[in-house]
Amino acid sequence: MGHAADAVEADVVEANVVRDTRTIRRAVVTGGAGFLGSHLCEHLLDRGVEVVCLDNFLTGSPENVLHLMEHPGFRLVRCDVTDYVHVPGPVDLVLHFASPASPIDYLKMPIETLKVGSLGTLHTLGLAHDKGARYVLASTSEVYGDPLEHPQREEYWGNVNPIGPRGVYDEAKRFSEAMTTAYRTSKGTDTGIVRIFNTYGPRMRPDDGRAIPAFVGQALDGRPLTVAGDGSQTRSICYVDDTVRGILALAFSPHTGPVNIGNPDELSMLRLARWIAELTGSQSPVEFIDLPVDDPKVRRPDTTRAEALLGWRPTVPSEEGLRRTVDWFAAQRDRTELRVG
């Protein structure tokens, strides 16, 4: 993973990019055993940062960080940040990434999703404030809802249905942004907000309901690829290494955000399904299913701010990222079959 850390350093020295001189020796990552959180833990360790990984394993798994357990700078703690957060010793950075993040999860756990966005944000902000630490909130492109502006800039306020089925996630994140801002303006807490667009890569759960793991699993099984609606709705997919570089670029900077981190490479869900079928060599047909309620029709980040302030832009082409992801899922299936066999 060292090459990813090198890429962060290469990005932040571009002209007109302002770097902070802060030193971060020890970080807390909530939701650190989840898909994105585990990659953050890994990259931080590669940078020489000690990591305290907090997770209640509601949607994360210890298996995601099993390879880090022998690292002297890594500590895994079972913790529900909606109850209480206590971390002994100094903390220089708090990354709040705990939350169900896929529709299948937050529709099944609506109250837990709202609690981690409200109480969890309150408790982790309190930790950062008490420790004098930098705080970075993982927000989401979902704060833009079904956008009436395209592409989405950080100045856009969004078009969200607060009482729709997706509202539990959208509004939890919107509230957490407001709470993070309030801590900065009223208490002087050093905060940053990152709005993450669709991210994919190794360690996604095959059953988490998001498009890429669903399409890959279906293609590898030879089952029909289930595309919602007519497949014309778009998403902009960003490989996890690029997303993590962007998050850490913000974390190590003085900027408050919000900052969009995502790949402007927009494609339709039908195109994505057919692309994955090609990459897997699958003959699976496409099967159209009903479009979920309040499903956004378009999604593409305006990354002007990330490029100007952080010197960040995605570098992994979508085809390469999808190929790596397909290979990882295929390898996981092979291991499972060997164990069963």
Residue 177 counted as domain residue: yes
Instruction: Give the pLDDT mean for 136-160.
Output: 97
CATH of the domain at 16: 3.40.50.720
CA–CA separation, 122 and 180 (whole Å):
8
Residue 223 counted as domain residue: no
Residue 335 counted as domain residue: no
Q: Is the pLDDT of residue 265 over 50?
A: yes
Residue 36 counted as domain residue: yes
Please indicate whether residue 169 is annotated as part of the active site: yes
Single pTM value for the model: 0.92
Share of the chain above pLDDT 70, in %: 92
Residue 141 counted as domain residue: yes
Among candidate residues 54, 55, 3, the one with its CA nearest the CA of residue 27: 54
Max CA pair span of the chain: 60
DSSP string for residues in 21-41: -----EEEEETTTSHHHHHHH
Provide the domain limits for residue 173. 2-203+238-264+299-316
Q: Which of 169, 183, 200, 239 is catalytic?
A: 169
What is the rounded (10 degree) CA torsion for 51, 324, 201, 52? -10
Residue 330 counted as domain residue: no
What H or E segment, with its residue span, contains residue 236? strand 234-236
Residue pLDDT, tens place only, 178-198:
999 999 999 999 999 999 999
CA–CA separation, 67 and 70 (whole Å):
7
Q: What is the bridge-based pairing of β-strands 93-96 and 26-30?
A: parallel
Instruction: Give the pLDDT mean for 166-173.
Output: 96
Q: Is the pLDDT of residue 10 over 50?
A: no
Instruction: Give the pLDDT mean for 118-139.
Output: 98
What H or E segment, with its residue span, contains residue 325? helix 318-340
Residue 332 counted as domain residue: no
Residue pLDDT, tens place only, 22-66:
689 999 999 999 999 999 999 999 999 999 999 999 999 999 999
Q: How many domains does the chain have?
A: 1
CB-based burial label for 166 (10 Å; 0-12, 13-18, 19+) = buried
Residue 52 counted as domain residue: yes
Q: Tell me the angle at which helices 240-251 and 2-11 cross, rounded to the nearest 10 degrees.
A: 50
**Residue 8 confidence (pLDDT):** 35
